[in-house]
């Protein structure tokens, strides 16, 4: 009987072969796929903010954002792209052959940098297209509020939140790989990402959009004033709005957490269960 999904053992093999294929891709191809992935995730992020910023009950706002944000990962799964968080699972090919560690890390660094390029381009475009003027600048204020919250996280909180986030993201990608049809892939992506957004976990590539978008928005005095009035953003938080603080305060711990969650907890466990122990 034909199945519309792959078995666990088939999936384990697919993940290893897929990792091989990714790390052997040409330099130019990885650059383009990385920019695409960063842009797709950012489009999901900006749309989720645009839909939820005016909703008062926090739970309802997060639920709506959780419904919309997964579209970014759906586009990557169905159209293409190399995303840093899911690329952390490429360590599975290193488990098979330790000689591939250098290639895997080179690919991961390139994907990370190009994801940032794609995310920043979307952040710049959103700040330039007039979207943040919604509700007389309330969306711009909300964008500042999100960045302020992320820049104010302590290291341990950001680290653990990054771990939990990428467990969900990588499980979404694994589940989508298990499905053979488009509908199955869409549903597989939707629910884990829906869970991670509602839970408020930290995704390094999404933050490559959220924080630069907030920094760019903070150049507008009207957005800043509304952020103070509507969302009680403090002057101390606004002082954190630099790209140096973005990397040190947020991206560093979140990235480490994402690597632990996707590389060790998801990819490592799946390899151990379905390859090593078998």
**How confident is the model at residue 277, as a pLDDT?**
66
Q: Where residue 6 falls among pLDDT bands split at 50, 70, 90?
A: confident
8-276 sits in which CATH class?
Answer: mainly alpha
**How confident is the model at residue 56, as a pLDDT?**
87
pLDDT tens, position by position, 98-155: 668 899 999 999 999 999 999 999 999 999 999 999 999 999 999 999 999 999 999 9
- Domain boundaries of the chain, sorted by first residue: 8-276
Output Rg (C-alpha) for the chain, integer angstroms. 19
pLDDT tens, position by position, 169-189: 999 999 999 999 999 999 999
Q: Indicate whether this model's pTM tops 0.85.
A: yes
**How confident is the model at residue 98, as a pLDDT?**
66
pLDDT tens, position by position, 188-216: 999 999 999 999 999 999 999 999 999 99
């Amino acid at each position: 009987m034909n199945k519309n999904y792959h078995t666990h053992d088939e999936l384990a093999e697919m993940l290893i072969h897929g990792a091989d294929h990714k790390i052997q891709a040409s330099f130019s191809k990885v650059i383009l796929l990385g920019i695409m992935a960063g842009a797709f995730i950012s489009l999901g992020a900006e749309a989720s903010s645009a839909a939820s910023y005016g909703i008062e009950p926090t739970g309802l706002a997060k639920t709506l954002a959780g419904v919309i944000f997964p579209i970014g990962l759906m586009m990557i799964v169905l159209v293409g792209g190399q995303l840093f968080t899911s690329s952390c699972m490429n360590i599975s090919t290193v488990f098979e052959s330790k000689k591939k560690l250098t290639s895997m890390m080179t690919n991961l660094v390139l994907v990370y940098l190009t994801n940032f390029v794609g995310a920043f381009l979307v952040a710049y475009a959103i700040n330039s297209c007039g979207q943040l003027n919604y509700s007389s600048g309330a969306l711009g204020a909300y964008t500042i509020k999100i960045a302020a919250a992320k820049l104010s996280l302590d290291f341990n909180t950001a680290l653990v939140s990054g771990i939990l986030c990428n467990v969900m993201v990588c499980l979404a990608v694994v589940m989508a790989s298990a499905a053979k049809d488009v509908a199955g892939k869409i549903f597989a992506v939707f629910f884990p990402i829906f869970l991670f957004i509602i839970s408020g976990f930290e995704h390094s590539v999404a933050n490559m959009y959220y924080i630069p978008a907030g920094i760019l928005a903070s150049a507008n005095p009207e957005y800043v004033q509304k952020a103070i009035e509507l969302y009680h953003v403090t002057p101390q938080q606004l002082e954190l709005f630099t790209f140096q603080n973005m990397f040190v305060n947020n991206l560093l711990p979140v990235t480490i957490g994402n690597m632990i969650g996707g590389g060790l907890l998801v990819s490592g466990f799946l390899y151990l269960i379905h390859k090593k122990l078998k």
